[in-house]
Amino acid sequence: MSVAVHFEKLHYEVQNELKKAENSVSIAVAWITFNLYSDIFKELIKKGVTVDILCTNSPTNQKQSELISQLVGYGVNIRLCHMPRQTNHMHHKFAVIDSSVVLNGSFNWSENAKRSFENLTIIYDEPEIVSSFIHEFDKIKNLDKEAIKSLQSTTKCNEQNCDGETANILVFQESPMRMIYELWGDIVQCCSVCGDISYSTLKSGIQDTYLHHLFSKSDFDLNEEEIVQFDRDIDSHLTGYSSCGVVIHGIGFVCREIIGKHREDIYTRIIWKNKFVNDAVRDRYETDFNVSYN
């Protein structure tokens, strides 16, 4: 891995790295002054490079609608991201180039940022870091305003003297095995504080063959590139996930462990959480939520 940190001429450093792109550029930057980069974006499109850009939906970016439309017509994919509240933004400042280079820091790609104290870190050839940024880019790309709003919509627990939040968890009876072709579970609503003893089943008999297919792949030996793609597939499928019209905040599997001659530990292990509800969904619940599909 190679890392370069910059505090000056950041506009130049960004342009320089963009010009090197051969296959793809994924940009998630809150504010971009597009006329500073439009020629480079056009040259990349001419070279056959895919250019995807996510910015925040703000008056500053909206004022550039004419130029943005021109770039979209030229082949650049640009989206202004709407958040449920005006005080929230798609606030990232990163880019991934050719799935091998990450640009990240405080620097917005804007005229105003050129006159501020900012920083830019460029990371080369670090697959795990690259994968993390691509995951985040894909999450944002796959969510619209209403989906984000629904994913943020946890509620206060109704139990007396409890200050926890409730979330919807899709709980499968057991971890998927290679020879099982049907994966069944229930959607339960439980509290972050009293979830082991106070919960309700919203939907029963949920089946997701594609989800089973994704998780069953983890039983096989995968090379580094396949592992990265596997993680992206799961993340892409689960982001914004809903079932039977119910928003899913987390997904878990019932686990069974023998801890003695006559004792079995049964619990639910959470394997995925929506990014907006980390505080509302535990990593483990000491119950199987009465999910039983034998």
DSSP string, 181-221: ---EEEEEEEETTTTTT-EEEEEEEEE-HHHHHHHHGGGS-
110 vs 85, residue with greater confidence: 110
pLDDT for the residue 210:
72
Q: Point out the catalytic residue in the list 98, 138, 233, 288.
A: 98
256 vs 13, residue with greater confidence: 13
Do 173 and 269 touch, CB atoms closer than 8 A? no
- Phi then psi dihedrals of residue 21, to 5 deg: -60, 140
User: What is the band of 238 on the pLDDT scale with cuts at 50, 70, 90?
Assistant: low
Other C-beta atoms closer than 10 Å to the C-beta of 52 total: 18
Average pLDDT over residues 42-46: 96
The domains of the chain, with CATH numbers, are 2-142 (3.30.870.10), 150-285 (no CATH)
Verify whether residue 279 is a known catalytic residue.
no
- How much of the chain exceeds pLDDT 70, in percent? 77
Q: Point out the catalytic residue in the list 19, 63, 91, 156.
A: 91
* Locus of tokens 């080369």: 124
pLDDT for the residue 175:
56
pLDDT for the residue 221:
55
pLDDT for the residue 178:
46
Q: Is residue 216 pLDDT above 80, yes or no?
A: no
User: What is the band of 25 on the pLDDT scale with cuts at 50, 70, 90?
Assistant: very high
Q: Is residue 63 pLDDT above 70, yes or no?
A: yes
Q: What is the rounded average pLDDT for all residues in the chain?
A: 82
Q: Point out the catalytic residue in the list 93, 139, 212, 249.
A: 93
Average pLDDT over residues 201-214: 78
111 vs 223, residue with greater confidence: 111
pLDDT for the residue 223:
59
Per residue in 172-207, pLDDT (tens digit) is 887 554 445 567 889 999 888 887 777 889 888 888
Verify whether residue 91 is a known catalytic residue.
yes
Per residue in 113-153, pLDDT (tens digit) is 888 899 999 999 898 899 889 878 887 776 655 555 555 56
Verify whether residue 93 is a known catalytic residue.
yes
Element at 270 (helix H, strand E) = strand 263-273
